[in-house]
């Protein structure tokens, strides 16, 4: 796998790697993957793509041509996945990924790419669905997004759903990748004073958006960020300012499913807690799930032949700690729901559609 | 006292030797001229004296001190100044800035000397705010000489004294140089093609040919010497 | 409309910082005739210095400016003596390559030490702001503004000690000519390079307070410094101010009216056009590429 | 129809900034004529040559070459029409060899390039031995000679020479003079010589123009020039009796 | 062609026989080396003979690459048609901007081209039809020869660029370029139409660079603004040139191969620090062999 250890997506990349590592250790402790009659120990080669898709492409090329790898666990970030996909496809290797949610990945007619994430528009849609269900009903929304494949997708999802639900979209605007100062956008938002602010971006931007909203004394009733809130580091970085911010999740530990490797969702959470000393969130879970799907397909195929493994993936419909895993012919997962969490008292709690707690709304002003 | 004493100087470029065992001296208060055939190494000789070209061998003594290993800037501090061939002006700076920089080693007297140079070359005063690179050829030559004067050197070296200068300016310059020598006792080493002019203003002269000194003597004597008259004076 | 004062304020605050930030670049270029492609990374080095001092020892980044300056100064002198002096004699584009190599080296070294994660210096006053009528004023930006102004003034005064300033330019124009009048080029190069690098480092402190940074942000900053120098003209403090403000206004207004994404493009485009049409800059005199 | 002049300059003016360097300069040059241009330093002589060759564009006035207005033509186009020039402050291709310096203009200025012919020309100016030397490594006088070689190599219709004698010692001056005379008698090329070395100039030209502050203050034969009070005052200097060269 | 030029020419031809002996990995390294060779040879025409360092030459790599990619993706044109169009578009663009651009000299010129390169990258990243910052995934090549075809394409391009260099070195055209390099005003008064010659040499560079970009795009299948307008690639081209020796026909080839092999070795040996080592390498090359291997 080529994963971001450094760069913009260092945080998410690290979480993803934890998911892979947990899976690897668990499988190896169990004796490895059983393919046909043999048992194989799992070994994962990692390279750091520095959060740069071009590097990802180069590294995947290297993994395949130089290291002779045939089965690839995906990188973090839709652009990275997108970049890697072309290369994997070119060499007819196989990639299962839990790091890219852009719908564009599945529109290329690729055959060897599978993903365990719901696609990005769902992130935005879930946030809006929650917002309009709250009282008093918000009327205006500002959507800002990072100019990248995933965030744009997510933002468009939100835009579409907001229009459907009769919200007035007062701002829909992007900022470039890697931006570290959003003053101009903030000035705009401040002038529009919307009820809802949706920020589609990644971990770094989430922190930045919150900081600058505060700096510019902007007080919307509802702040939703696509990536960030469920990650423990989010609260660590922002402290009190993180309170009451919403974020969609692919998965949460509130899910409840059976699992062939960890027993059930609880078993997974415990294993994770034991190894890393904190609760897992969906990035890690996505990683584990992707690896798990690959493992199951390998075992069912009973061979290392890429074509046969691919067939098994297409046929698959198994219940795991992560939800039911099953793909359509484009490689996209089609069998699991998403959720929304809110930070309350320094912890992300699931508030929609399953309710660990009631959402707090409207959000009180910054201190 | 011997101000400058050069003995057995050898120098060249790459592996082409240009100067062969050149010996020459300048007494205090003396004007010495160098002339001779083109390409005979006159400019090369001055480059070695100021230090922008390293000699292969031989010695250069200035005020009894060996200077052949000093970098140019040190020599300027000791009191040598050069108005070089090719001028080496700061083309992107104004005329006045060029002159002021000439006084780098005598900053305290910069203002005073500026006045003086302007009085020698009113042309420069008129152009003082313009870039040196925009001057005409002759004006640049004046600037180059003017700049060399700014450091109040003990030894003033001028390559191609009259190059590109109008006759009236040449006359003026000749006057100025003799006057400076009388008033301030500055010594000079001058390369000049116009032999009658060179011998006019100098006390002694050296004749270079193919990198060697082929003749030397008091200027009046040389002027009378037949060989010189034949080669350098009667050709036109 | 109510938004205009806000935009103008932002432009002013940002532009003044850009002016100071670019001063060293403009100086080295105008004087040494060197386009230092590692310049942006010098700024980033300054930012990391401030960051380390802040997180390690709790020194406020605004108070560690002198330290950054001295560090930059020594670094600049050293680099000049060890590396750049030797290469300056060759064609100018060789120095471009050299400094690019330096940039690759330094930024990757930073990456090795600090990793590519975005760092920020989270001073307690980072998010403070106050409202005056229609405008909201961020305290940090105001602080940076005044400091930039102050430091720019200091550099101005320094360069006005004309002998240093003049000697510096003379060497740039004709090295042999400078030697002939008694200036030691080596010393002048070292002084200029030290001064320029010192400015870069200390502006890094301010940059680090303004926003987050990663080891690889230097390239973009170099481009900005470049733009400021091109627009304003070289080697003069007034020009840097003009250029800095120009860039400030350009960025804020394009970001606001065209979108954040067009900010960098607009800067580059303007720079490109300036180079084509008016390479001497708004206030500049003759440039050296031409005789 | 009357015979047209080779070069006709009509009321040419040029300023740099506020500085008027040429003021309504007019003169003509007939085929095969040799014209001298003298004048104080900074009087606009080089600028005039720059206008003629198109390096500098005049503000007003016109230049006719062989009856055709050439104001809008680029330097290279004028070169191809038959203008050869030298530069006062030499502009050689310093990293190329002496020989290459001559071959290049032969390619682009006039007829074809022929190494043999280039060598011939180098022999004429006395640089043959140095033909493989880098041009940047020549002494001043050698560079001047190379400038000349380049200019004549294209067999131009008019040669514009900016201080070719400056920096040459008397022996060399003689050689170059002979060479110019020879070329002139063989090819009938017209020449314009900008020069301060009057004793050389007067050996070859019958007509001189004196420029002062961008204006023509004298036009006529050399003898008359030395008698003109204005010229003596502006250019020759009070103590000037006759051109130096004619003393000895 | 001179003796050693002929030798190099045959060596290049002989390289065409290598692929059966190569592993996937080495085939890739060689392909990359050939790409760099073609790029440095292209730059050599401009820098080596004309004296203009186009630091931002990768702008044309991007133009060629994107044109090719978009024609294939949006208009569904076959690669064999798109590629030449990409090259021509890039060359024409160069021809268009050369007259104003090439009034600048030395590092002003260098930086202006770099600004152009970065600006184009930003533009592409901001436009919709170019795929924005996300880039474009191209269809996978499935025709005869498989991926080896790209090796041969780059080889062909390199040979083409090489022959162009030989031509410039030998021809009167080359003399004009050298004259421009030495003193433009003088060249002009000697009868050289400097604007024309400069523009043509610039556009030759752009043609090869653009073609190279087109082949690269299809080869790598994923392109985005940062990879197609990458300043690091510009620098690599220059380092290759310096390493080999500017202004010779053999230098760029030598430099490109040495550099690519070196960075491949470093890349494999020191995965973590390769950036640091690359930077150091550039610095050392400039310091130690500023005139290139070939010249020494
Ligand atoms: N940089 C250089 N590299 C190689 N050879 C050179 C260099 N400069 C000058 N020469 C050669 O050295 C010899 C002496 O040159 P120098 O300039 O000293 O002569 P000069 O006496 O001043 O001649 P002139 O009267 O023409 O100015 C000449 O043959 C010249 O070609
Ligand atoms: N590019 C320029 N910009 C500004 N002023 C200029 C420029 N070129 C020439 N000048 C000015 O124009 C005037 C005439 O210069 P020109 O070179 O024509 O004189 P000249 O007659 O050739 O003198 P000389 O005998 O000294 O060579 C000078 O005062 C000079 O300073
Ligand atoms: Mg000489
Ligand atoms: Mg002149």
Which ipTM did the prediction report?
0.74
Give the distance, in angstroms, between the CA of residue A356 and the centroid of all CA atoms in the same chain. Answer: 21
Query: For residue C266, what are the domain limits?
Result: 4-277
| Chain E nearest C-alpha distance from A362 (Å) | 36
- Nearest CB to E183; choose among D80, D92, D108: D92
Return left, alpha or beta for E27; rule: phi > 0 is left, psi -120 to 50 is alpha, else beta. alpha
Query: Is position C289 within any domain?
Result: no
Which of D47, D88, D198 lies nearest to residue B164, judging by beta carbons?
A: D88
What is the domain count for chain C?
1
Structural domain boundaries in chain B: 1-79+155-166+189-236
Do B233 and D170 lie within an 8 Å CB cutoff?
Answer: yes
Domain boundaries, chain D: 7-92+156-236
- Among residues B65, B26, B64, B24, the alpha carbon closest in space to that of B45 is found at B24
Q: Does position D247 have pLDDT exceeding 50, yes or no?
A: no
Q: Is the dihedral of CA E213, E219, E221, E224 positive or negative?
A: negative
Q: What is the reported pLDDT for C287? A: 34
Query: Which tokens hold the place of C248?
Result: 């400030």
CA diameter of chain D: 52
Asked: is D7-92+156-236 a CATH 3.90.420.10 domain? The reply is no
**pLDDT score of B188:** 94
In percent, the amount of chain B with pLDDT more than 70 equals: 98
Nearest to D237 among B136, B171, B232 (CB): B171
CB contact (8 A) between residue D93 and residue E186:
yes
Contact (CB, 8 A) for A4 and A46: no
Reported in sequence order, the residue ranges of C62-179 that DSSP labels E, i.e. its strands, are 129-132, 135-138
Half-sphere exposure of A160 (CA within 13 A, CB side): 13
Strand (E) positions, chain A? Answer: 2-3, 33-35, 38-40, 47-48, 71-73, 94-97, 113-115, 140-146, 168-175, 196-200, 222-225, 246-249, 258-259, 263-264, 318-320, 323-325, 339-344, 347-352
Residues of C with CB under 8 A from a CB of B: 163, 166-167, 169-170, 173-174, 176-184, 285-286, 288, 291
How confident is the model at residue A239, as a pLDDT?
Answer: 84
Q: What is the pLDDT of residues D126-176, one digit of tens each?
A: 899 998 898 888 988 898 899 999 888 888 899 999 999 988 888 888 888
In contact, E105 and C289? CB cutoff 8 Å: yes
DSSP state of E222: E
Residue E257, helix vs strand vs coil: helix
Per-residue confidence (pLDDT) for residue A168, from 0 to 100: 94
Minimum-distance ligand 1 atom for the alpha carbon of D139: 17
Residues of E in contact with A152 (CB under 8 A): 132, 134
* Residue C188 in domain: yes
Judge whether A179 is closer than 8 Å to chain C, CB to CB: yes
Mapped onto helix, strand or coil, the DSSP state of residue D14 is strand
Three-state DSSP class for residue C180: helix
pLDDT, tens digit (0-9, with 9 covering 90-100), for D184-196: 998 889 999 999 9
Please report the DSSP string for D59-88 in residue order: SEEEEEETTEE-TT--HHHHHHHTEEE--S
Q: Do E140 and A86 touch (CB under 8 A)?
A: yes
**Could you give the CA distance from residue A122 to residue A337 in angstroms, rounded to a whole number?**
9
Q: How far is the CA of D144 from the centre of ligand 1 (A)?
A: 12
Question: From the centroid of its chain, how far is CA C94?
Answer: 21
Distances (CA, A) of B230 to B195, B225, B233, D233: 12, 9, 6, 33
| Residue C283 is assigned to a structural domain of this protein | no
Ranges of chain E whose pLDDT falls below 70: 1, 267-272, 293-296
What would the pLDDT profile of B24-36 be if each residue is shown by its tens digit? 999 999 999 999 8
Given an 8 Å threshold on Cβ–Cβ distance, is C116 in contact with A10? yes
Q: 3-class DSSP state for residue C207?
A: helix
Among E2, E131, E133, residue whose Cα is nearest residue E69:
E131
| Dihedral sign of CA atoms D11, D14, D19, D21 in order | negative
**Residue listed under structure tokens 């500049």:** C284
pLDDT of residue C174: 79
pLDDT value, residue C290: 31
Residue C182: which of B76, B92, B97 has the nearest Cβ?
A: B76
Helices C139-160 and C237-257 pack at an angle, to 10 degrees, of 150
Name the residue with the closest Cα to ligand 1, atom 18: B41
CA angle A139, A141, A143 (to 5 degrees): 170
Low-confidence ranges of chain A (pLDDT < 50): none
Instruction: Give ligand 1 pocket residues (Cβ under 6 A).
Output: B 13, 16, 18, 38-44; D 137-142, 167
CB C261 within 8 A of CB A147: yes
CA–CA distance, A215 with A193 (Å, rounded to integer): 15
**Would you state the CATH architecture of domain B1-79+155-166+189-236?**
3-Layer(aba) Sandwich (3.40)
Share above pLDDT 90 across residues of chain D, in percent, rounded to a whole number: 30
Taking an 8 Å cut-off on Cβ atoms, the answer to whether E119 and C96 are in contact is no
Q: Are A269 and A280 spatial neighbours (Cβ–Cβ below 8 Å)? A: yes
Residues 59-88 of B with CB under 8 A from C: 71-73, 76-77, 81-82, 84, 87-88
Give the rounded distance of the alpha carbon of C233 from its chain centre.
14
Q: What is the pLDDT of residue C286?
A: 44
Q: Tens of pLDDT along chain B (236 residues)? A: 789 999 999 999 988 899 999 999 999 999 999 998 888 999 999 999 998 899 999 999 999 899 989 988 899 999 999 998 767 888 878 899 899 988 988 888 889 999 999 999 999 999 998 888 889 889 999 999 999 999 999 999 999 888 889 988 898 889 899 988 988 889 999 999 888 888 889 999 999 998 999 989 898 888 888 777 777 776 55
- Whether C53 contacts C67, CB under 8 Å: yes
Q: What b/e string do you get for C118-156 counting C-beta neighbours within 10 Å, with b at 16 or more?
A: bbbbebeebbebeeeeebbebebbebbbebbeebbeebe
In the sheet where D34-38 sits, what is the strand order?
Answer: D83-85, D158-162, D190-194, D34-38, D207-212, D215-220
Pocket test for ligand 1, best of B19, B44, B191 (most atoms within 8 A of CB): B44
**Residue E248: how many CB atoms within 10 A of its CB?**
21
Distance from Cα D2 to the centre of ligand 4, integer Å: 34
Furthest CA-CA distance within chain E: 56
Residue of D139, D172, D176, D197 best suited for mutating to test ligand 1, as the one with most atoms within 8 Å of CB: D139
- What's the pLDDT tens digit per position in E130-172? 887 777 888 877 777 777 889 999 999 999 999 999 888 888 8
Q: Is the pLDDT of residue D242 over 50?
A: no
- The better pLDDT of the pair B73, D2 is held by B73
pLDDT of residue D246: 37
pLDDT attached to residue B56: 93
Distance from C-alpha of C113 to C-alpha of D149, rounded to nearest angstrom? 63
- For A270-282, give one letter per residue: b (16+ CB within 10 A) or e: bbbeeeeeebbbb
CATH number (domain holding residue C124) = 1.10.3470
- C-beta of B137 in contact with ligand 2 (< 6 A): yes
pLDDT tens digit at each of 291 positions of chain C: 578 888 899 899 999 999 999 989 988 887 777 888 899 999 999 999 999 999 999 999 999 999 999 999 999 999 999 888 888 777 767 787 888 889 989 998 998 888 767 788 888 887 788 888 788 888 888 888 998 888 888 877 776 555 777 787 777 777 788 888 888 888 888 998 999 999 999 999 999 998 888 888 898 899 888 888 877 776 667 778 888 998 999 888 988 888 877 888 888 888 788 777 766 655 544 433 332
Q: Are A292 and A261 in contact (CB under 8 A)?
A: yes
Cβ(D36)–Cβ(D223) under 8 Å? no
Chain E CB contacts of D55 under 8 Å are 185, 188-189
The set of residues, in sequence order, having a beta carbon less than 8 Å from that of E128 and lying 6+ positions away, is none
DSSP A192-220: H--SEEEEES-HHHHHHHHHHHHHTT---
Tokens of A78: 């839709």
Q: What is the pLDDT of residue E270?
A: 67
- Residue recorded with tokens 């959060």: A51
Sheet holding D19-29, edge to edge: D19-29, D7-16, D60-65, D68-69
């Amino acid at each position: 796998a080529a994963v971001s250890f450094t760069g913009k997506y260092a945080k998410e990349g690290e979480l993803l790697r934890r998911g892979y590592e947990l899976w690897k250790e668990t499988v190896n402790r169990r004796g490895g993957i059983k393919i046909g009659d043999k048992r194989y120990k799992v070994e994962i080669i990692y390279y750091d793509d520095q959060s740069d898709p071009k590097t990802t492409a180069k590294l995947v090329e290297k993994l395949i041509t130089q290291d002779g790898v045939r089965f690839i666990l995906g990188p973090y970030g839709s652009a990275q996945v997108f970049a890697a996909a072309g290369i994997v496809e070119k060499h007819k290797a196989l990639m299962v990924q839990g790091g890219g949610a852009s719908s564009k990945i599945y529109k290329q007619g690729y055959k060897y790419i599978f993903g365990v994430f719901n696609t990005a528009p769902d992130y935005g849609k879930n946030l809006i669905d929650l917002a309009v269900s709250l009282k008093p009903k918000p009327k205006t929304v500002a959507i800002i997004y990072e100019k990248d494949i995933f965030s744009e997708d997510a933002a468009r999802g939100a835009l579409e759903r907001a229009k459907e639900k009769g919200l007035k979209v007062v701002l829909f605007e992007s900022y470039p990748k890697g931006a570290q100062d959003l003053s101009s956008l903030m000035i705009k938002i401040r002038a529009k004073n919307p009820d809802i602010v949706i920020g589609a971006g990644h971990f770094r931007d989430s922190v930045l958006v919150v900081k600058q909203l505060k700096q510019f004394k902007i007080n919307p009733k509802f702040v939703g960020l696509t990536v960030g809130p469920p990650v423990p580091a989010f609260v660590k970085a922002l402290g009190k300012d993180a309170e009451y911010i919403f974020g969609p999740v692919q998965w949460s530990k509130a899910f409840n499913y059976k699992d062939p490797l960890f027993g059930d969702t609880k078993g997974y959470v415990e294993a994770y807690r034991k190894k890393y000393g904190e609760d897992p969130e969906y990035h890690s879970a996505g990683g584990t799930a992707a690896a798990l799907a690959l493992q199951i397909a390998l075992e069912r195929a009973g061979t290392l032949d890429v074509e046969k493994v691919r067939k098994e993936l297409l046929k698959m419909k198994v219940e795991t700690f992560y939800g039911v895993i099953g793909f359509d012919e484009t490689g996209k997962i089609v069998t699991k729901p998403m959720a929304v969490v809110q930070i309350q008292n320094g912890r992300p709690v699931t508030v929609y559609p399953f309710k660990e707690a009631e959402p707090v709304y409207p959000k009180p002003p910054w201190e | 006292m011997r101000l400058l004493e050069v003995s057995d100087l050898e120098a060249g470029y790459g592996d082409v030797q240009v100067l062969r065992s050149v010996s020459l001296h300048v007494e205090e208060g003396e004007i010495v001229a160098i002339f001779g055939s083109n390409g005979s190494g006159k400019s090369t000789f001055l480059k070695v004296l100021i230090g922008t070209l390293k000699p292969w061998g031989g010695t250069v003594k200035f005020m009894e001190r060996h200077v052949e290993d000093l970098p140019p800037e040190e020599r300027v501090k000791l009191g040598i100044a050069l108005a070089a061939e090719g001028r080496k002006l700061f083309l992107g700076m104004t005329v006045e800035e060029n002159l002021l920089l000439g006084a780098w080693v005598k900053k305290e007297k910069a203002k005073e000397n500026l006045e003086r140079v302007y009085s020698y070359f009113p042309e420069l005063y008129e152009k003082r705010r313009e870039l040196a690179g925009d001057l005409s050829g002759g004006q640049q030559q004046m600037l180059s000489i003017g700049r060399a004067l700014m450091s109040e050197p003990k030894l003033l070296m001028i390559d191609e004294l009259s190059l590109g200068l109008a006759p009236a300016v040449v006359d003026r310059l000749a006057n100025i140089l003799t006057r400076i020598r009388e008033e301030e006792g500055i010594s000079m080493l001058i390369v000049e093609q116009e032999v009658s002019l060179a011998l006019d203003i100098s006390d002694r002269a050296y004749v270079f040919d193919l990198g060697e000194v082929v003749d030397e003597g008091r200027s009046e004597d040389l002027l009378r010497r037949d060989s010189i008259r034949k080669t350098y004076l009667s050709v036109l | 409309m109510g938004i205009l004062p806000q935009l103008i304020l932002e432009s002013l605050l940002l532009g003044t910082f850009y002016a100071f930030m670019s001063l060293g670049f403009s100086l080295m270029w105008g004087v040494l005739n060197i386009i230092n492609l590692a310049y942006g990374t010098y700024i980033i080095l300054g930012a990391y210095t401030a960051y380390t001092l802040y997180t390690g020892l709790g020194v406020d980044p605004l108070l560690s400016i002198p330290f950054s300056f001295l560090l930059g100064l020594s670094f600049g002198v050293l680099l000049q003596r060890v590396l750049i002096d030797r290469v300056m004699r060759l064609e100018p584009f060789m120095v471009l390559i050299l400094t690019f190599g330096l940039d690759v080296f330094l930024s990757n070294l930073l990456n090795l030490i600090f990793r590519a994660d975005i760092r920020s210096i989270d001073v307690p006053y980072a998010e403070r702001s106050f409202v005056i009528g229609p405008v909201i004023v961020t305290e940090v930006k105001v602080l940076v503004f005044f400091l930039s102004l102050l430091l720019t003034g200091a550099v101005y005064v320094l360069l006005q000690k004309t002998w240093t300033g003049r000697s510096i330019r003379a060497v740039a124009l004709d090295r042999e000519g400078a030697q002939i009048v008694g200036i030691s080029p080596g010393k002048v190069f070292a002084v200029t390079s030290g001064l320029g690098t010192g400015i870069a480092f200390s502006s890094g402190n301010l940059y680090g307070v303004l926003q987050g940074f990663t080891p690889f942000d230097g390239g973009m900053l170099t481009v900005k410094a470049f733009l400021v120098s091109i627009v304003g003209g070289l080697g003069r403090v007034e020009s840097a101010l003009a250029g800095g403000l120009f860039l400030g206004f350009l960025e804020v207004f394009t970001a606001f009216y065209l979108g954040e994404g067009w900010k960098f493009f607009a800067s580059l485009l303007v720079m490109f056009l300036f180079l084509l049409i008016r390479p001497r800059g708004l206030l500049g005199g003759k440039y050296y590429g031409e005789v | 129809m009357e015979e047209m002049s080779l070069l006709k300059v009509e009321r040419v003016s040029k300023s740099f900034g506020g500085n008027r360097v040429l003021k309504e300069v007019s003169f003509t040059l007939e085929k095969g004529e040799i014209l001298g241009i003298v004048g104080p330093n900074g009087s606009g002589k080089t600028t005039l040559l720059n206008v003629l060759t198109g390096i500098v564009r005049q503000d007003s006035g016109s230049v006719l070459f062989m009856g055709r207005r050439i104001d809008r033509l680029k330097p290279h186009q004028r070169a191809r029409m038959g203008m050869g020039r030298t530069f006062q402050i030499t502009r050689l291709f310093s990293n190329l060899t002496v020989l290459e310096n001559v071959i290049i203009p032969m390619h682009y200025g006039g007829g074809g390039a022929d190494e043999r012919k280039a060598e011939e020309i180098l022999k004429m100016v006395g640089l043959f031995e140095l033909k493989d030397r880098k041009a940047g490594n020549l002494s001043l006088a050698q560079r001047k000679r190379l400038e000349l070689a380049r200019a004549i190599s294209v067999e131009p219709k008019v040669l514009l020479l900016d201080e070719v004698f400056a920096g040459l010692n008397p022996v060399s001056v003689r050689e170059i003079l002979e060479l110019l005379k020879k070329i002139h008698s063989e090819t009938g090329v017209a020449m314009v010589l900008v020069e301060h070395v009057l004793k050389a100039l007067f050996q070859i030209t019958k007509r001189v123009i004196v420029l002062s502050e961008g204006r023509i203050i004298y036009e006529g034969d050399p003898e008359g020039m030395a008698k003109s009070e204005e010229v003596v005052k502006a250019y020759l200097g009070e103590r000037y009796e006759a051109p130096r060269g004619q003393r000895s | 062609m001179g003796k050693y030029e002929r030798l190099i020419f045959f060596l290049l031809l002989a390289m065409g026989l290598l692929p059966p002996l190569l592993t996937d990995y080495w085939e890739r390294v060689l392909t990359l080396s050939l790409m760099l060779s073609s790029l440095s040879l292209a730059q050599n025409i401009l820098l080596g003979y004309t004296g203009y360092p186009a630091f931002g030459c990768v702008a044309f790599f991007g133009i060629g690459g994107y044109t090719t990619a978009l024609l294939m993706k949006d208009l569904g044109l076959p690669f064999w048609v798109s590629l030449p169009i990409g090259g021509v578009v890039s060359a024409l663009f160069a021809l268009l901007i050369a007259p104003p651009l090439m009034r600048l000299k030395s590092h002003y010129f260098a930086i202006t081209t770099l600004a152009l390169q970065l600006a184009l990258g930003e533009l592409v990243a901001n436009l919709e039809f170019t795929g924005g910052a996300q880039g474009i995934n191209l269809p996978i090549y499935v025709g005869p020869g498989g991926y080896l075809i790209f090796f041969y394409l780059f080889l062909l391009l390199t040979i083409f660029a090489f022959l162009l260099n030989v031509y410039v070195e030998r021809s009167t055209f080359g003399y004009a370029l050298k004259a421009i390099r030495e003193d433009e005003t003088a060249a002009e008064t000697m009868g050289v139409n400097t604007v024309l010659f400069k523009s043509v040499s610039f556009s030759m560079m752009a043609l090869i660079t653009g073609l190279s970009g087109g082949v690269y795009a299809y080869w790598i299948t994923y392109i985005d603004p940062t990879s197609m307008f990458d300043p690091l690639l510009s620098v690599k081209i220059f380092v290759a040139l310096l390493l080999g020796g500017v202004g010779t026909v053999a230098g760029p080839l030598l430099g490109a191969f040495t550099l690519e092999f070196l960075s491949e070795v470093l890349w494999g040996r020191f995965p973590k620090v390769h950036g640091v080592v690359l930077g150091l390498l550039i610095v050392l090359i400039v310091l130690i062999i500023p005139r290139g291997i070939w010249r020494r």
